[in-house]
Amino acid sequence: MDASELDILRHSTAHVMAQAVTELFGDVKLAIGPTIEDGFYYDFELDHTFTPEDIEKIEAKMKEIAKRNLPIVREEMSSEQAEILFEELHQPYKVELIRDLPGDTVTVFKQGDFIDLCRGPHCSYTKKVKHYKLLSLAGAYWRGDEKNAMLQRIYGTAWGTADELAAYLTRLEEIAQRDHRKLGRELDLFSLPEELGPGLVVWHPKGAILRGLIEDFLKEEHKKRGYDFVVGPHIMKTSLWKTSGHYQTGYPMYFFDIEGQEYGIKPMNCPAHILVYKSQPRSYRALPIRYFELGTVYRHERSGVLHGLLRVRGFTQDDAHIFCTRAQMEEEIIGVLDFAFHCLRTFGFDEYEVMLSTRPEADKTVGTDENWELATNALIAAMEHHGIKYTVDPGEGTFYGPKIDVKLKDALGRLWQGPTIQVDLNLPERFDTVYYGDDNAQHRPVMIHRVVLGSMERFIGALIENYGGQFPLWLAPVQAVVAPVSEKAADYAADVYKELRGAGVRVELNDKNETISSKVRDAQMQKVPFTLVVGENEAADGTIAVRDRSGQDRRGVKAADFIEEVAAAVRDRS
């Protein structure tokens, strides 16, 4: 079954589900039921709150409707007729949709007594709906606006064969086991306390170690590539955000008043970096200038879209801005692409998809057509230099420039937002940013906005799920646990622990009054790369027994040899 046939099947399954809900619960107001990647959902308004038990009932009712083999009939009618029809059916959301649709006619689909507003197409009979599963419940605001009514959403999936459905459900189970929110709790990496507010992350000691290792890597790599480190404040006057255009374009910011002056909490770092650049005259001889900051920013995301580390309100970006001449622009973009792919490979991401995000609607952007065309062509030329295959994502650029978006592919084949590179000829104009050329005249620099990993929070979420929490040795917050077999080996275990810790190994000592099997199991549950077992024999020989995560054992290992093994893995980032 090809993609278009699957889409038709899933759309039809969504309608069968909606029919099942109306038959089971009576007074139900139907919202929308589109297909999505690998499935579908439908939004409902009703007095009853869905439960997991209801899902089973709905699936059973869907099976019954499919067996009826009802013909699914398309009917075209005038918008006026459709509005009257759905008013009589007490379906206000359908009436609202009809009033917003262009043209004078709409289509509806009927299956038995059930009727729904829809463009289609659909299967010809309900018996085609066979291999499906309802997956989860969620809340959703009507039309995604939190000022509107909260609806109940049911997610589902449908496939052409039972084997395809079973394979997909197995994949979902593996994804659930890798869920970074689950692993974040189990491995004690981070939390999102309700007391702080939605979308705000607290990093626990082990999570802070992981994040620190990534940040140290980034600082080292930026130094190699000629970036200067800068730091900007978290709040800035609203006048600055009006100059940048964020204020006028309705960017999701937080604003507040101090002594009659309005300020905004920064959603990005670029205005501060521009002010650093403007703090003194710049010559063409000094360009390119590359500023880097691990800058924490805040965005007013709706609570309904927040999701663990992947979508938060406060996050830190490995943010940089490059000021260069137009002649240097393509070479700088090429350098950023090299840098980004090096970083991704270092963290175990070897496959990517690349997209060129072009100009949104002109009334939602700043800058001239000429500048947008020049910036877009520079991005294309840099990708062609690398031989990068890319797809165009129309209208998904920022309000000030086009961008390259790199989606990294994880161990399960899922795509995650990664590096972005934006060419900006507009903010330098708006901030009156200049350099002096070899003609002693003033010229506008090009400004390249880029991140090579992106949001630290989102990247670490992807990293957790890619490795299933089993980080490579150089990234593991705890690299080894020393576990004495009995009290008789406790002193020797403590000596080994001190030796390893003194040599820079991230090590813990488990000297609890538990069996050795329990200690080994605890280390494996925490996904620690090595458990170092020491008993009376090891104490007598001055060695350790090394057990890795796969269960392989090595006996008679000298502590110094193990320390060098860890050091080599850290050097090689393996």
Q: Looking at residue 221, what is its pLDDT? A: 97
One of 61, 321, 458, 547 is an active-site residue; which one?
321
Question: 171 by DSSP, 3-state: which?
Answer: helix
Delimiting residues of CATH 3.40.50.800 domain(s) in the chain: 480-572
Residue 449 is a catalytic residue: yes
Residue 90 is a catalytic residue: no
Q: Classify each residue of 4-37 as buried b or exposed e, where b means 16 or more C-beta atoms within 10 Å of its C-beta.
A: eebebbbbbbbbbbbbbbbbebeebbbbbbebee
Mean pLDDT of the chain: 94
Q: Are 82 and 106 in contact (CB under 8 A)?
A: yes
Q: Looking at residue 450, what is its pLDDT? A: 96
Dihedral angle computed from the Cα positions of residues 384, 388, 394 and 398, in that order, rounded to the nearest 10 degrees: -90
Q: Looking at residue 50, what is its pLDDT? A: 96
Question: 340 by DSSP, 3-state: which?
Answer: helix
Q: Looking at residue 361, what is its pLDDT? A: 82
Q: Looking at residue 174, what is its pLDDT? A: 93
| Short-list 385, 446, 459, 387, CA closest to 420 | 459
Question: 558 by DSSP, 3-state: which?
Answer: coil
> Residue 99: which residues within 8 A CB-CB, separation 6 or more?
79, 83
Residue 317 is a catalytic residue: yes
Q: Looking at residue 145, what is its pLDDT? A: 82
One of 61, 246, 290, 449 is an active-site residue; which one?
449
For 24-74, how does the pLDDT look when each residue is reduced to its tens digit (9 = 90+)?
998 999 999 999 989 999 999 999 999 999 999 999 999 999 999 999 999
Delimiting residues of CATH 3.30.980.10 domain(s) in the chain: 3-168
The residues of the chain scoring below 50 in pLDDT are: none
Tokens found for residue 483: 């576990």
Amino acid in position 310:
L
One of 128, 246, 403, 519 is an active-site residue; which one?
403
In sequence order, the β-bridge partners of residue 557 are: 544
One of 319, 405, 410, 424 is an active-site residue; which one?
319
Residue 321 is a catalytic residue: yes
Delimiting residues of CATH 3.30.930.10 domain(s) in the chain: 186-346+405-467
Q: Are 96 and 63 in contact (CB under 8 A)?
A: no
For 192-207, how does the pLDDT look when each residue is reduced to its tens digit (9 = 90+)?
999 999 999 999 999 9
Tell me the torsion sign for CA atoms 311, 302, 295, 286.
Answer: positive
Backbone angles phi, psi at 2, to 5 degrees: -80, 180
DSSP structural state of residue 478? S
One of 153, 246, 299, 458 is an active-site residue; which one?
299
For 367-374, which contacts have Cβ atoms below 8 Å and span 24 or more sequence positions?
367/400, 367/401, 367/425, 367/426, 367/429, 371/425, 371/426, 371/429, 372/401, 372/402, 372/425, 374/326, 374/425
Q: Are 328 and 292 in contact (CB under 8 A)?
A: no
CATH number assigned to the domain covering 186-346+405-467:
3.30.930.10
Which pTM does this prediction carry? 0.86
* Backbone angle region of 38, left / alpha / beta, with phi > 0 → left and psi within -120 to 50 → alpha: left
Angle at 28 between CA 75 and CA 116, to 5 degrees: 10
For 503-548, how does the pLDDT look when each residue is reduced to its tens digit (9 = 90+)?
999 999 999 999 999 999 999 999 999 999 999 999 999 999 999 9
CATH number assigned to the domain covering 480-572:
3.40.50.800
One of 111, 128, 246, 270 is an active-site residue; which one?
270
Cα 159 from chain centroid? Answer: 26
> Which CATH superfamily hosts domain 3-168?
Threonyl-trna Synthetase; Chain A, domain 2 (3.30.980.10)
Q: Are 417 and 454 in contact (CB under 8 A)?
A: yes
Cα 319 from chain centroid? Answer: 17
Question: 199 by DSSP, 3-state: which?
Answer: coil
In sequence order, the β-bridge partners of residue 133 are: 157
Amino acid in position 520:
V
One of 152, 317, 422, 479 is an active-site residue; which one?
317
**Rounded Cα–Cα distance for residues 555 and 574 (Å):** 23
